[in-house]
Amino acid sequence: MSGWTLGIETTAHTLSFGLVNPDGEPFPAASDTLRPDEGGIHPREAADHHKDVAAGLYQKVLDMHGLQPTDLGAVAYSQGPGLGPCLRVGASIARGIATRLNVPLIGVNHCVAHIEIGRQQCGCDDPVLLYVSGGNTQVIARLNGRYRVLGETLDIGIGNMLDKFARQQGIPFPGGPKIESLAKAYLERCPEPSMEGLELPYAVRGMDLAFSGLLTAAQRLVDNGQPLDAVCWSLQEHAFASCVEVAERAMAHTGKRELLLGGGVACNERMRSMSTMMAEDRDGSSHAPPKMYCIDNGTMIALLGALELANRTTSLEGSAIDQYLRTDQTPIQWA
């Protein structure tokens, strides 16, 4: 391949431009995330935000790495899954840049991009993936040329659950990091905590997960006067243990020995340490990429685009977004 591959990520609240060099090596992205002062994310407001900051961020990522637009040899973008209005902005920016530079365009699967940046960064070969982000929660493993979803949330993503709980306490988006620091503060003031009075429902449903009951029950604990830091601790313990349990059964069932974390909630240190404990108990190993590659980022889109370019490109006619694109719809045609 000649030239750098640009990757454009716009599935939700983050617009991000990332790059891989002609050898497919990743370089840090330039990103901007919409953080509403109150309330959740309105897809059209996020799309407007992406339009407003796009030109400046595109220039920024080129400047960060000393590149000119003519150094680009291909343009990759998130084709799905995600919020329609946001995805459409990314796809039209990608079409515009690719057409102007006369270079190939390639639409890629956002979930698969999380997996591939993790494999590349952590040197994993054939992991079970625990993909825990705002909108998605899935346990995934590679089988017969596809990434198969072995278990997933039946309602909201784990990150959305954390963000909603935080919002109800007046904590702005993203709530996950603040919940993590409150949980840590609780352990500092109460080093040997007990679940008494802090029990929550368990989110496991067979191989699937469901988080909305946990959200309601955690709010009830707060309403009944339990301290917020204690509830944050319990919420993390219950939610993360549920995910790790499903991941453990996936490892047991498939015989795979590596666990790979991805998605924004994989930034969480408690999530990481629980995963490590579980994997080591099974004589396996747990891995997580650097935080900048856990959250949504353009670099992972560029990386997957570069991997896929050997086999396909996306025509303008075929470049429409797919809000409901599934992880297992993308054939794995790379090593």
The site for ligand AMP (CB under 6 A) is made up of 14, 133-135, 159, 162-163, 174-177, 180, 263-265, 267-268, 295-296
CA dist 81 to 34, 86, 308, 309, Å?
A: 19, 11, 18, 20
Q: Please, which residue, 13 or 270, has the CB nearer to Mg ion?
A: 13
**Which of Mg ion, ligand AMP, none binds 9 (CB below 5-8 Å, type-dependent)?**
none
Q: Please, which residue, 7 or 263, has the CB nearer to ligand AMP?
A: 263
Residue with tokens 């030109």, as numbered in its chain:
55
We find the least distance from the C-beta atom of residue 35 to ligand AMP, in angstroms, to be: 11
198-237: buried (b, 16+ CB within 10 Å) or exposed (e) per residue? bebeebbeeebbbbeebbebbbebbeeeeebbbbbbbbbb
Q: Which of 296, 300, 307, 330 binds Mg ion (CB under 5 A)?
A: 296
| Beta-strand pair 128-132/105-109 | unpaired
Per the CB < 8 A criterion, the answer to whether 69 and 97 are in contact is yes
* Residue 155: Cβ-neighbour burial (10 angstroms; 0-12, 13-18, 19+): middle
We find the least distance from the C-beta atom of residue 78 to Mg ion, in angstroms, to be: 9
We find the least distance from the C-beta atom of residue 101 to Mg ion, in angstroms, to be: 27
Q: Please, which residue, 153 or 234, has the CB nearer to Mg ion?
A: 153
**Which of Mg ion, ligand AMP, none binds 246 (CB below 5-8 Å, type-dependent)?**
none
We find the least distance from the C-beta atom of residue 9 to ligand AMP, in angstroms, to be: 9
We find the least distance from the C-beta atom of residue 23 to ligand AMP, in angstroms, to be: 26
Neighbour order of strands in the sheet with 146-152: 146-152, 137-143, 128-132, 258-262, 285-287
The CA distance from 4 to 72, in Å, is: 5
To the nearest 10 degrees (0 to 180), the angle between helices 176-189 and 269-281 is 80
User: Looking at the DSSP assignment, which residues form a beta bridge with residue 142?
Assistant: 147
Q: Which of 10, 79, 121, 133 binds Mg ion (CB under 5 A)?
A: 133
Per the CB < 8 A criterion, the answer to whether 12 and 41 are in contact is yes
Half-sphere exposure of 64 (CA within 13 A, CB side): 15
Q: Please, which residue, 12 or 91, has the CB nearer to ligand AMP?
A: 12
- Nearest position to Mg ion, beta carbon: 133
Q: Please, which residue, 246 or 309, has the CB nearer to ligand AMP?
A: 246
We find the least distance from the C-beta atom of residue 11 to Mg ion, in angstroms, to be: 6
Helix (H, G, I), strand (E, B), or coil: what is residue 259?
strand
Per the CB < 8 A criterion, the answer to whether 118 and 130 are in contact is no
Q: Please, which residue, 163 or 229, has the CB nearer to ligand AMP?
A: 163
Tell me which stretch binds Mg ion (CB under 5 A): 64-72, 223-231, 295-303, 314-322.
Answer: 295-303
**Which of ligand AMP, Mg ion, none binds 26 (CB below 5-8 Å, type-dependent)?**
none
We find the least distance from the C-beta atom of residue 240 to ligand AMP, in angstroms, to be: 9
Tell me which stretch binds Mg ion (CB under 5 A): 19-27, 83-91, 96-104, 293-301.
Answer: 293-301
Residues in contact with Mg ion by CB under 5 A are 133, 296
